[in-house]
Amino acid sequence: MPENAVFADEGLNVAVYAELRQRLVTGRMAPGHELSTRSLASELGVSQTPVRDALSRLAADGAVAIRSKRRVQVPGMSPERFEDLLRCRLLLEPEAAALALPHIDAARLQTLREIDATLDLAIAANDGDAYMRHNHAFHFTLYSAQPGQAMTQLIETLWLQFGPFMRVVFERLSEAPLNDRHQAAIDAVAAKDAKALREAIAADIAEGMGLIGKSMLTTVRAV
């Protein structure tokens, strides 16, 4: 298969990197998962060169660990690493939401409502793929409204490292409700209330995956 069979309209290296980022952010690559450049190249219809390039960039982002030339792994999650990532999310994401608030127009607000409605359906159906995609879409539709890009890019790097474990948490909650603070965030956006928006995003992170993830890591051996 030609290298451009899958990514005909984009630069090959950029497209492969974007695809692997998306898989990590949505948890399609689990903590501890071994990555084969040969298998990924075959799956994506490319040579191993752009895959290696993408994995090197992801290693620089902290999203994968290159153990040797042939061994690349999604890092496991320890309580210490979890606390570090959670702390960074709590520092950056409420502020990013507040900075975005003045730039959120009626159309973006409606998009947030639509994403949240779809997310609720995913939770009700226990659909991990849909939950991860739409949860990511909700947060970054909000954060990306701000004109500056640096903070959003930093947050994306945190999600690359957090996403694989987040997916594990979701899949172990089939019998427990997963509540978020997205409606509170939407209400704060509609009211143009930066303080309430900060609080909603902080609570969404700390009370959702934060508390559940901590509980898992104290009762289950690190993934």
pLDDT for residue 220 is more than 90: no
Order of strands across the sheet that contains 72-73: 34-35, 72-73, 65-66
Q: Are residues 48 and 123 both part of a single domain?
A: no
Distance (Å, whole) CA 28 – CA 136: 13
Q: What is the CATH number of the domain that holds 56?
A: 1.10.10.10
| Mean pLDDT in residue range 171-192 | 83
pLDDT one-digit tens code per residue, 71-87:
899 999 888 899 999 99
Name the β-bridge partners of 65.
73
Residues 86 and 69 in one domain: no
Q: Is residue 1 part of a domain?
A: no
Compute the distance between CA of residue 184 and CA of residue 89 in angstroms, rounded to an integer: 18
Q: Enumerate residues 6+ apart whose C-beta is below 8 A from 20.
A: 29, 40, 51, 54, 55, 58
pLDDT, one tens digit per residue, over 116-143 is: 999 999 988 888 899 999 999 999 999 9
What SS3 string covers 69-103? CCCEECCCCCHHHHHHHHHHHHHHHHHHHHHHHHH
Which among 73, 91, 113 is the end of a domain? 73
pTM over cut 0.95 = no
- 29 pLDDT more than 80: yes
* Number of other residues whose CB lies within 10 A of the CB of residue 171: 13
Task: Note the pLDDT of residue 170.
Answer: 81
Number of domains in the chain: 2
Same-domain status, 67 and 92: no
> Which pLDDT band holds residue 218 (cuts at 50, 70, 90)?
low
Interhelix angle 128-143/150-171, rounded to 10 degrees, is: 160
The proportion of the chain whose per-residue pLDDT surpasses 70, expressed as a percent, equals 87
Range of the domain at 29: 12-73
**pLDDT (0 to 100) of residue 91:** 97
Output DSSP code: residue 27.
T
Q: Two tokens at 172?
A: 């172990």
Q: Is residue 185 part of a domain?
A: yes
Q: Does 3 fall in a domain?
A: no
Domain for residue 5, yes or no?
A: no
Same domain, 120 and 193: yes
Q: Say whether both 183 and 140 belong to one domain.
A: yes
Residues 155 and 87 reside in one and the same domain: yes
Kindly state whether residues 157 and 193 are assigned to the same domain: yes
User: 22 and 84, same structural domain?
Assistant: no
Residue 9 pLDDT level (bands cut at 50, 70, 90): very low
Which of the listed residues 46, 73, 100 is the one where a domain comes to its end? 73
Residue 207: the pLDDT is: 82
